[in-house]
Amino acid sequence: MLKLPANTQGRDYYVGDIHGHGEALWKLLDAVRFDDRCDRLFCTGDLVDRGPDSARLLLILDDAPWFHAVMGNHEAMLIVAGSARDETTRKRWSARDSAWFFRLPAEQRKPLVRIAMRMPLVMQIEQPEGEPIGLIHADLPLDKGWTALERARFGVGAAFDNDGDTLASHLLWGRSTAMQLGQAMTTGRRPSGLLARLRVESLGMLISGHTPMLAAKPRLAGNRLFLDTGVYLPGGRLTLLEPLSRRYWQTNANAVEVAPPKRLRAIG
């Protein structure tokens, strides 16, 4: 777990899975007048694949002290495929929107793998007041507490273990909690029992991505914020959120314009 101190000089923003859509990200940062001298940006992972700026985003992550991201399953697959010597493993990964990586010369691929390997599975960001914010890519099972992640480690096999029951597999691939919330909302029943179980102790908020939310809207349930709004999907958006004010901004993959900010509202 990577623990970062509170930002006492500027603002902290969180963005969902970018998936190579760099122009959408720059448009959002311009809209909030992001100041890289004092502001910070945190991403739920999956910087790469499906958009044109995958390599660029990884390189910026390596160069910019204001930019932080947890590892997503697409970075995990990049590590496995970029380190693999057999063609079967490489093809299995490149089928997931990742042909861009293998079109690069070998000398350009190696630095990207090294950057991805340094991405943590879990972050804890202290706050000027109140409990810290936790950041993961996919899922923290309902029966696992935040302290269970203190010793979480990434294993190479977890990259393709999308049906596994290891903690790394849940963090990279899990959708169970987001799917339970989605089912409760679509049935029209109040998910009160689920909301109580969603609360993660020792955190002010747990932010995750991976599973695109219905209607491309971020969802706050219990103290879990589901931030992925499917920028790569038809009708999808990239969402940038400031937890302190609970305002969020959105734009689409073409980054034509940024919608006026909206206020995040909790479910329940």
**Catalytic residue numbers, as ranges:** 74
Q: Are 72 and 98 in contact (CB under 8 A)?
A: no
The radius of gyration of the chain from alpha carbons, rounded to an integer in Å, stands at: 18
First to last CA, the chain: 31
Evaluate the CA torsion angle 53, 18, 231, 139 in order and state its sign.
Answer: positive
Find the Cα–Cα–Cα–Cα dihedral 40, 68, 177, 183, rounded to 10°.
60
Distance CA 101, CA 105 (A): 9
| Number of Cβ atoms within 10 Å of the Cβ of 157 | 12
Q: Which residue has the tokens 């990884």?
A: 58
Helices 106-117 and 73-83, axial angle in degrees (round to 10)? 130
Distance CA 262, CA 264 (A): 6
